[in-house]
Amino acid sequence: EGAEGEAAAAEGAEEGAVVEETVIEIHEEMVGTLPSRIKIDLVPIVGVAHRRLRDDKAPVRRAALSVLEAALLLRGKLDAPAGSPPTEADISAVEAATADPLVSVRKA
């Protein structure tokens, strides 16, 4: 059973890496094509990510961390040149994710 769990965790990590790469690619495409006058309200997306980072299921927490990371990157690019720094809540959420008991979430 231990080997199966490790195999499932490795598979989940690979899927997480693919999702993260895809999110980053989409983010880079969007930033390159968005006019500087467009303002996107990322507050609801970040709020959902914060809530889902406290979910009982590890895949949900891993996905929420990827979404939060992408939203923070996008928020920084949209508010260029100064960028928009992460809030205290964002930092706390990422800090909590780095202390997650599951390695697959910590690696996300």
CB 105, CB 69: distance < 8 Å? no
Q: Residue 10 — pLDDT band, cuts 50, 70, 90?
A: low
- The 10s digit of each residue's pLDDT in 28-83 is 666 665 555 556 778 888 899 999 988 888 888 889 988 998 888 887 776 655 56
pLDDT at 1 over 60: no
Residue 49's pLDDT is 92
Q: Higher confidence at residue 50 or residue 7? A: 50
| Residue 45 to residue 43: CA distance in whole angstroms | 6
User: CB under 8 Å, gap of 24 or more: what pairs does 35-41 form?
Assistant: 36/80, 38/78, 39/78, 40/74, 40/78
Q: Which domain holds residue 80?
A: 2-107
Report the pLDDT averaged over residues 9-33: 67
| Residue 102 to residue 62: CA distance in whole angstroms | 10
- H or E element that contains 81: none
Q: What total number of domains does the chain contain?
A: 1
